[in-house]
Amino acid sequence: MTEMVYGAVRVQAGDPILPRWWRTVDKWTLSCILALFALGMLLGFAASPPLASRNGLAPFHYVQRQAFFGGMAIIAMFVTSMLPPQTVRRLAVMAFIGAFAALAALPFLGTDFGKGAVRWYSLGFASFQPSEFLKPVYIVTAAWMMAASQELNGPPGRMLSFAMTVVIVMLLAMQPDFGQSALILFSWGVMYFIAGAPLMLLVGMAGMVVFGGVVAYSNSEHFARRIDGFLSPDVDPRTQLGYATNAIREGGFFGVGVGEGEVKWSLPDAHTDFIIAVAAEEYGLVLVMAIIALYAVVVIRSLLRLVRERDPFIRLAGTGLACSFGIQAIINMGVAVRLLPAKGMTLPFVSYGGSSLIAMGVAVGMLLAFTRTRPQGQIGEILRGRGRL
């Protein structure tokens, strides 16, 4: 009866991993992610050569690196999606400890690459951004704490997850990285709401966030400059936002044509933070709407499958990952069209990047693992087994 109601796929003992994975994974989500990566490679061919030319590199240097890191991300996604939720949870908790230690050590061992924010470790041949890897494993760890608190005589998981979140946000604000701080707070708030948090508590937290923004505006020139630029009624056409706005306007519905765009020659971050401006200028609103639809399908499909999930941990972790994925895409595109202040955030699977691509591959792999169709256990069995790590 459970399988009839919840649509679970019966799995035989000893069933090979790949056939079992293929029958249970959400193929719509998987297809959308692969389509986003393919579009990212297509846009990389347009946006990367100007940057490579300015840096004295081969024309498709960044495209090749995108293909390499993207391949690693896709492999990480497939491998992670084949793991059972309990294994994902254990590995995520251990990875969280390592990522948190790397984040805490950034002020002493990190570098800013001349961008004014110490967010990276320089590895010589590449760079490593701990906050990108911290996000997905933090979400899973916080979800485990919240789910454990729902047990009879369980630990104060909600309080512990809140304290952990505050520490992480403070470390990110010190860099400063207010965009990642906002993502962490948003992810925690969504999971806490799903776990049954009182609405007034969330309203109070929103007030604290506003207060924190006022303090940051008063004490951080970097933060104040971005807010002032966002609130200004006029856009300087020589700034990144000015170039992006003009490119989107010039693109219209169908774009100016493949390779005919001009914004990639002016924007230093055309291949990363403002990749959607390149898409809008060369391919028009049609491609932008297709990209938005792909993100929407991933989020909506995942949430619909998680609604049927009885396991509190899987439901919380999956919801946090799906909403974090969607809100990051919204922030990136919102900045490009000047609906949000500039935050320096990549467009998942489309923007160029090493750390962001691989970390996003792991995050979506976790999401696919949590949304795989599985027989739903009895509620009593779930509650008895929820506290085991």
Does residue 119 belong to any structural domain of this protein?
A: yes
Domain span including residue 188 = 16-374
Cβ distance 309 to 184 under 8 Å? no
d(CA 126, CA 191): 34
- Backbone region of residue 12 per phi and psi (left: phi > 0; alpha: psi in -120 to 50; beta: other values): beta
C-alpha atoms less than 13 angstroms from C-alpha of 14 in its C-beta half-sphere: 0
Does residue 365 belong to any structural domain of this protein?
A: yes
Does residue 385 belong to any structural domain of this protein?
A: no
Cβ distance 227 to 341 under 8 Å? yes
Q: Tens-of-pLDDT digits for all 389 residues of the chain? A: 334 334 444 445 456 888 899 999 999 999 999 999 999 999 998 888 888 888 888 888 899 999 999 999 999 999 999 999 999 999 999 999 999 999 999 988 888 776 667 888 887 767 788 999 999 999 999 999 999 988 878 788 888 999 999 999 999 988 888 888 889 999 999 999 898 877 777 777 778 777 777 777 777 676 777 777 777 766 666 677 788 888 888 888 888 888 788 888 887 777 888 899 999 999 999 999 999 999 999 999 999 999 988 899 999 999 999 999 999 999 999 988 888 877 778 899 999 888 899 999 999 999 999 999 877 644 444 455 544 44
d(CA 86, CA 147): 13
Cβ distance 135 to 184 under 8 Å? yes
Does residue 387 belong to any structural domain of this protein?
A: no
pLDDT at 81: 97
Cβ distance 2 to 376 under 8 Å? yes
Does residue 265 belong to any structural domain of this protein?
A: yes
Does residue 1 belong to any structural domain of this protein?
A: no
C-alpha atoms less than 13 angstroms from C-alpha of 97 in its C-beta half-sphere: 5
Sign, CA dihedral 294-361-365-303, equals: negative
Does residue 5 belong to any structural domain of this protein?
A: no
d(CA 233, CA 9): 55
Does residue 227 belong to any structural domain of this protein?
A: yes
From the list 202, 161, 221, 180, the residue with the least C-alpha distance to 331 is 180
Q: Which residues are CB-neighbours of 212 under 8 A, at least 6 positions away? A: 173
135 residue type, one letter: K
193 residue type, one letter: F
d(CA 115, CA 130): 16
Q: Print burial letters for 33-67: b (CB count within 10 Å at least 16), e (below 16).
A: bebbbebbbbbbebbbbbbbeeeeeeeebbbebbe
Burial class (CB in 10 A: 0-12, 13-18, 19+), 233: exposed
Q: Count the domains in the chain.
A: 1
Instruction: Outline where DSSP puts E strands in the chain.
Output: 121-122, 127-128
